[in-house]
Chain A
Amino acid sequence: MKRPEAGAFAAFVITYLFFALATQGTGFISVNGTAGWLNLAAELGIVAIPVGLLMISGEFDLSIGSTVGASSMILALGTNQYGLPIWPMVFLALAAGATIGLANGLAVVKTKLPSFIVTLATNFIVIGATMGISRLVANVTSSSIVASDSAKFVFAARWGQANISILWWLLVAFIGYRILSRSIFGNWIYATGGNLDAARGAGVPVQQVKISLFIATGLAAALVGILQGVQWNSGNATYGMGFVFQAPIVVVIGGVLLTGGYGSVTGIVLGTALFGVISSGIFYTGWNTDWIQLFLGLLLAAAVLANNYVRRLALSSK
């Protein structure tokens, strides 16, 4: 019970069983049904992992939403408007994501302002710039994407109902796990969020830790923009806006402390999976999908309370 992901694991099992029973005979637990909720979770999961690591280090990133949109528009304008091949545009989109992350990181570290407000500003700046520039060069804010077969395979392959984004999610989760739980850098992430002064005192380059994680978040958001763009054959400045709050929500449901210093990648993955199960499960029950928000809100409230409790439990003597 003392592990950060304990609450998310219990919530996931209970919710899954609930929907499995409530939707009997509708195929929710079938292979296709499973692929359905995994698809819903995958893209959110890709951004949620760096967002979670960043939260463990003590910072927020609310600019992910507009970065997703900007990345998809880079593909669209590049391939459609200028007729450029897609792969260089993919790298340009990733570079743009990394640059947005770097700007966030530098702004937060240098100004010492709360990242919540800094990245909220970035979110508006980026979406505004994306729309403005798109209008200027092509007079659109959404446009189709011309993808090569290789790009279509890498970013939009489908097996039955399952999208390749699920594999990307697994890959990002694996990398995130290796970094957070196993690497030396991971130790620094925990220390930076757990006690900034102590971490600095021990020689941890806390500023570099934060900036690196902001860059990772920007990269992940750009990757999701590419995945969505190629999958739906179009770019749109407003893609990804849903992630702005969904990502921190699933991270907290996954057991990461809002105040930093505590959490796990396993927890974040479970929190995201829970989101997928609820979003897809409600659809299978035939209820109005408006209920998803209510469920998420309740889960978030419960998670915040549970996290505090788990934290106290972890700090009590054995």
Chain B
Amino acid sequence: MSQPLMELRDVDKFFGSTKALKHVSMQVEPGKILCLLGDNGAGKSTLIKVLSGYHQPTSGTVFFEGRPTRFATPREARQRGIATVHQDIGSIPLMSVGRNFFLGAEPAKGRWPFRSIDTRLANEVAVEQMQKFGLTRVTSGDQLVGTMSGGERQVLAIGRAMYFGAKMLILDEPTSALGVKEASMVLKMMRIARQNGAGIVFITHNARHAMSVGDTFVVLIQGEVAASFKRGEKSREEVLNLMAGGEDMSELEDDLEQID
């Protein structure tokens, strides 16, 4: 087994007397997709914030590339190659694809005081990358991001992180607000990112999406790891039941079907 990109060992996170995370251990491996499953309030957001350097664990250790690490700020985590793509933030609708893609790392040309953004280069690279990731509809870097669909924007955000050398991608519910086609576009993008060697943490409460791309799975319930298993070890029903906290989801589904 290759060295994990990031490893959490017995991590606790308390806010006052509230225990948001209890004894969480997990491994993010390069070239693998780890699905983080859990219902609302299970501690997913807190865990993301620990992974992305926003929170420091109360106790326990975070290893990054084999070394115990304490990120002081999200910026430090970002500089070390940990990119977080949030559900709805991450793109700026009224800016062009090229300008969005290079935001914060704009290519420049010319000398001061006439130093300016190399818009042509930015647009070219952005469109080239978008095409590579399967967004064939985007043909001009001048197109405003707001004209793109939700799925396309997720792909743009993930592609952007990959282009700037992210080793680890934290994807916070990237598919939950999307339709079927759009979601599959994003799932495809995740496979491409995995092929390129990125370690991916895919946060979702959609078991179907998780099962279609995940290599390993961690189910979180009330801040604790309720189950941790590999692809193929559990069926979709079992996963659903786990997420629901052990209640039998199939029974609930049967009930629902009877209503129809």
List of B residues within 8 angstroms of A186 by Cβ? 117
Which of A182, A183, A204, A261 is close to B94, meaning CB atoms less than 8 Å apart? A261
Q: Are B114 and A262 in contact (CB under 8 A)?
A: no
Which of A195, A199, A257, A318 is close to B147, meaning CB atoms less than 8 Å apart? A318
Within 8 A of A (CB), among B53-95: 75, 78, 84, 86, 89-95
Does A203 have its Cβ within 8 Å of any Cβ on chain B? yes
Which of B92, B116, B146 is close to A199, meaning CB atoms less than 8 Å apart? B92
Interface string of A217-258 (1 = CB under 8 A from B): 000000000000000000000000000000000000000010
Does A317 have its Cβ within 8 Å of any Cβ on chain B? yes
Does A184 have its Cβ within 8 Å of any Cβ on chain B? yes
> In the assembly, what is the distance between CA of A198 and CA of B89, in Å?
6
Within 8 A of B (CB), among A287-318: 311, 314-318
Within 8 A of A (CB), among B113-141: 113-117
Q: Are A191 and B95 in contact (CB under 8 A)?
A: yes
Q: Are B146 and A315 in contact (CB under 8 A)?
A: yes
> In the assembly, what is the distance between CA of A197 and CA of B84, in Å?
12
Q: Are B115 and A190 in contact (CB under 8 A)?
A: no
Does A137 have its Cβ within 8 Å of any Cβ on chain B? no
Does A135 have its Cβ within 8 Å of any Cβ on chain B? no
> In the assembly, what is the distance between CA of A262 and CA of B92, in Å?
11
In the assembled complex, the CB of B83 is this many whole angstroms from the nearest CB of chain A, namely 9
Q: Are A204 and B89 in contact (CB under 8 A)?
A: no
> In the assembly, what is the distance between CA of A195 and CA of B146, in Å?
12
Q: Are A318 and B103 in contact (CB under 8 A)?
A: no
- Once A198-B89, A201-B90 are accepted as A-B contacts, the answer to whether A190 and B108 lie under 8 Å apart by CB is no
- Once A203-B105, A315-B144 are accepted as A-B contacts, the answer to whether A191 and B116 lie under 8 Å apart by CB is no
Within 8 A of A (CB), among B12-30: none
Closest residue of chain A to B79, judged by CB?
Answer: A203
Q: Are B92 and A191 in contact (CB under 8 A)?
A: yes
Which of B89, B113, B144 is close to A195, meaning CB atoms less than 8 Å apart? B89
Closest residue of chain B to A259, judged by CB?
Answer: B94
Which of B89, B106, B146 is close to A187, meaning CB atoms less than 8 Å apart? B106
Does B99 have its Cβ within 8 Å of any Cβ on chain A? yes
Q: Are A190 and B99 in contact (CB under 8 A)?
A: yes
Does A194 have its Cβ within 8 Å of any Cβ on chain B? yes
Q: Are A201 and B89 in contact (CB under 8 A)?
A: yes
Closest residue of chain A to B137, judged by CB?
Answer: A317
> In the assembly, what is the distance between CA of A98 and CA of B251, in Å?
68
Does A202 have its Cβ within 8 Å of any Cβ on chain B? yes
Which of A187, A194, A198, A262 is close to B117, meaning CB atoms less than 8 Å apart? A187
- Once A191-B92, A198-B89, A198-B91 are accepted as A-B contacts, the answer to whether A184 and B147 lie under 8 Å apart by CB is no
Which of A199, A201, A311, A317 is close to B84, meaning CB atoms less than 8 Å apart? A201
Q: Are B103 and A191 in contact (CB under 8 A)?
A: yes
Within 8 A of B (CB), among A73-119: none
List of A residues within 8 angstroms of B115 by Cβ? 183-184
List of A residues within 8 angstroms of B94 by Cβ? 190, 194, 257, 261-262, 311, 314-315
Can you name 18 A-B pairs with beta carbons within 8 Å? A183-B115, A184-B117, A186-B117, A187-B102, A188-B103, A190-B95, A191-B95, A194-B93, A194-B94, A195-B89, A195-B93, A198-B103, A199-B92, A201-B84, A315-B94, A315-B144, A315-B146, A318-B147
On A, residues with C-beta under 8 Å from B are: 178, 182-184, 186-188, 190-191, 194-195, 197-199, 201-204, 257, 261-262, 311, 314-318
On B, residues with C-beta under 8 Å from A are: 75, 78, 84, 86, 89-95, 99, 102-106, 108, 113-117, 143-144, 146-147
Given contacts A178-B113, A203-B78, list 6 more A-B pairs with CB under 8 A. Answer: A182-B116, A184-B106, A190-B95, A191-B92, A203-B75, A311-B94
